[in-house]
Structure 1
């Protein structure tokens, strides 16, 4: 087993001479074997090792005894040991996290605290090949993408997993060979945990009925998908600066430039953008990313989506903004407005749109946000398009009395920083259409209408 672990450490360059390693040790077979192995490697690799133990206070006296066991083991082997007890049931009540999530959060917080205390140490955990197979299967069942299916990574920032190349059986044999007497967590037998049900019920059934080497197959899948994910991520990083720009407090994703990029890379760009704004991807699902993709390609200008972590996405003419608690849009080119020929096509570079007008004797019955239909004879030419102005007001379609444009924007929840880019269509008397949002009552089509003015607003490609 030591040969396998050495080879794994070498393959991923996990250790360097003079490293400090904090070994997470629960007292169970995996972590105890890892601690013992690193103690054996101490002189060989010229490293300093420390043990860290967290009692999550789920199991009362049982977990308290495990803490004592780890402390005594470290004393016997002259390994510096740090340990603490954290009331995770209380954390669960305060945060609403699941038991496993809460335990993981507080455990890694403590491990990083100790790693910093001893001088910038790496953190080693006892995850092994069986854990990898279980993790991949769990993520497949949950419908995860490549990030989940690639499973546990050998190195992830400050974390190293030296035992990922060995199995649970290998570890058990090592403990017997070295006369180690690990403690066994009784909660590992509770069937209310998904991982336990998969380990105890599902994987043995799959081995028996379908593939005796299912664990190897799952680990192989993790490796293959992981390599492909790394390629997608590398591609996304290489084109990041071409697609995404920092605009004060926001990230702006250019819709036109994203259009011809492979869908897998587009997803990764969105995940990277979310992670950069939030610091993590906790709570971000496939659905969230797909929503952003749909919003970018076909969303209504000014529409917004709330994401976990107080992150907000907002659609503009040119693309999509990501920000925390609002936006600060900076792409407001000076635009004073212009006349709209009827019929005709008008390109407005400053707003990223073109406006098409035509007069017909047949009504366009298709209702779309980017299309407005009027009774041409009820309007007062000439038509004009511009940005909003202070004091603007109009009578929205179906509304009794006039309404300030500012109040309309507020009611429609159009972000303040996008309002200057909403085209305002006017006739000789005033506003007839807040482009993409609401027609005015003026020019309303009726049964007596003979000439229909159709205005279409199209995002420029």
Structure 2
């Protein structure tokens, strides 16, 4: 049994999991894996020179049995003089509210609770007691769920401040150690049922693989998963370089410039998109979304698709724009001379003026029109199909849609671009051009100043 301890010590050293002076919070469920971790670290805490504490999350899924697990953990820690804390979470209610599985909800609440406690009480590392069997089950579960190459990498040995020092041991080795040293542990009764996907894999698929293909299946899969993980680190570096070069990330908006395809094939774009979706947008990147985004590249400017979490992907001239759908009220607003309004993110002002010296802004932000033949009330609205006006300096009507295209207005902005209307005529395509019929001439008596910010 000494060899098991040496195995863990070497694994910790090889992967630099623990440093002198660490404060480690152990996720203690009461099961054999976490109990082994507790006793092991308590035995070697002087060697590592670390501070230890244990934290138990009661998921309230098994009634009295769950409460007994919590009491068991509390007593064990009391006997070992290890600081103990616990929290109760309502997994079923959280799963229902967020429309996720009970397994997903339990994991989310467990890690959130651990991190919150660690941050509050100054623990720089969190220990979770995943073992070789857990890693194998996770890989199979990910493989059957189609999660891609990241899922095949299995459970990471360390991720940010989370460490897993018993990932080198099998469940069998851990139980043999505990039984030999007469250390008590709890068994979750739900583990023997097939109610959850992971349990079905554990109880049915893994035994078949071990009996028919490889009795050391878990160890073999662990070695393979770590090779994949190392290759992924290199791949992540290359992906980040591509992102830095071709992708602009802002709050609730991401621009993917199509020049990216000069360096990578469309078929390889998926991993980059997945990284952006999961890390920046915090939304799921499914194969269906992947196919839809790739097909959007081939479509004409202005085409869009709806994504989850109210995001939209829009094909623009030189990029795919992914943005949060935050369109404001598109209904028209009445605007009188002397008033200002905010419409679709633009501040628009109208006032009568006598201070006109013939100067106009070069960018269309400030304009002056003749107010001799207008009504008091203007209508401010988004342009719509069929709208026409006579751009200043021209003699013939032009479609607003064509004019906006000529001005190279991005498709996202074009859709809700405002126009100022009087007597059913477009007076001003806001911020761009006035109608020639409303220009100031030598006969103008009333001058209206228009400007936008």
Normalising by structure 1, what TM-score?
Answer: 0.69
Is 1:113 the counterpart of 2:116 in the alignment?
yes
Distance 2:157 2:327 in 1: 38
Contact 1:232 1:268 in 2 (8 A): no
1:355 alignment partner in structure 2: none
Relative to structure 1, the CA distance from residue 391 to residue 171 in structure 2 (aligned partners, 3 Å threshold; closer, same or farther) is: closer
2:441 alignment partner in structure 1: none
How far apart are residue 310 of structure 1 and its match?
Answer: 3.0
Relative to structure 1, the CA distance from residue 60 to residue 9 in structure 2 (aligned partners, 3 Å threshold; closer, same or farther) is: same
How far apart are residue 405 of structure 1 and its match?
Answer: 5.8
2:208 alignment partner in structure 1: 205
Distance 1:15 1:185 in 2: 29
Contact 2:22 2:124 in 1 (8 A): yes
Contact 2:25 2:123 in 1 (8 A): no
Relative to structure 1, the CA distance from residue 49 to residue 419 in structure 2 (aligned partners, 3 Å threshold; closer, same or farther) is: same
Distance 1:167 1:11 in 2: 18
- Could you tell me which runs of 5 or more consecutive residues in structure 2 were left unpaired when the two chains were aligned: 329-381, 389-398, 405-409, 418-453
The 5 Å alignment of 1:12-161 reads: 12-161=15-164
CA RMSD of aligned residues (A): 2.8
Relative to structure 1, the CA distance from residue 205 to residue 415 in structure 2 (aligned partners, 3 Å threshold; closer, same or farther) is: same
How far apart are residue 305 of structure 1 and its match?
Answer: 2.5
Contact 2:256 2:319 in 1 (8 A): yes
3-state secondary structure, aligned to 2:85: strand
Distance 1:311 1:8 in 2: 43
2:310 alignment partner in structure 1: 310
2:269 is matched with which residue: 256, 266, 271?
A: 266
How far apart are residue 215 of structure 1 and its match?
Answer: 2.2
2:223 alignment partner in structure 1: 220
How far apart are residue 37 of structure 1 and its match?
Answer: 1.2
The 5 Å alignment of 1:347-386 reads: none
3-state secondary structure, aligned to 1:162: coil
Normalising by structure 2, what TM-score?
Answer: 0.70
How far apart are residue 156 of structure 1 and its match?
Answer: 1.2
Relative to structure 1, the CA distance from residue 308 to residue 391 in structure 2 (aligned partners, 3 Å threshold; closer, same or farther) is: closer
How far apart are residue 250 of structure 1 and its match?
Answer: 2.0
Distance 1:218 1:43 in 2: 34
Distance 1:20 1:9 in 2: 15
Distance 2:117 2:228 in 1: 33
How far apart are residue 420 of structure 1 and its match?
Answer: 9.6
Distance 1:158 1:264 in 2: 34
2:291 alignment partner in structure 1: 290
How many residue pairs were aligned? 345
Contact 1:311 1:324 in 2 (8 A): yes
How far apart are residue 248 of structure 1 and its match?
Answer: 6.4
Distance 1:57 1:248 in 2: 37
How far apart are residue 392 of structure 1 and its match?
Answer: 7.3
3-state secondary structure, aligned to 1:393: coil
Contact 2:301 2:411 in 1 (8 A): no
Distance 2:101 2:223 in 1: 30
How far apart are residue 151 of structure 1 and its match?
Answer: 1.0
Relative to structure 1, the CA distance from residue 110 to residue 188 in structure 2 (aligned partners, 3 Å threshold; closer, same or farther) is: same
